[in-house]
Amino acid sequence: MTKIEEINQFMLEAFEEVGFEDTLENRLAFLQGLQEAWKEDPDVSLEKALYQIALNGEIMIIEMKLRYVAIN
């Protein structure tokens, strides 16, 4: 399983647990919150860096999708 697949699985499980709808807006908010939490974490590791790279990429993809939808 890739890092982003692990993050997405965690996110979807969290959504289900609290009853959030799986929308691009909710995904973006969740991932940005996760990103902020990881930025505040002082630990440094290769594993954390790989998760952050995957997370940043997913956030960019969602932001582009939301912009494209807003344009059309």
In tens, the pLDDT along 21-62 reads: 999 999 999 999 999 998 898 999 999 999 999 999 999 999
Predicted local confidence at residue 22, as pLDDT: 96
- Domain, as residue range, for 45: 25-71
- Could you give the 3-state DSSP secondary structure of residue 19? coil
Q: What is the pLDDT of residues 6-30, one digit of tens each?
A: 999 999 999 999 999 999 999 999 9
DSSP, collapsed to helix, strand or coil, labels residue 42 as coil
In a domain, 3, yes or no: no
Q: Is residue 15 part of a domain?
A: no
Residue type, 34: L
1 within a domain of the structure (yes/no): no
- Total tally of structural domains belonging to the chain: 1
Confirm whether 36 is domain-assigned. yes
How does DSSP classify residue 12?
H
- Residue 20: per-residue pLDDT: 96
- The tokens describing 2, both together, are 């890739």
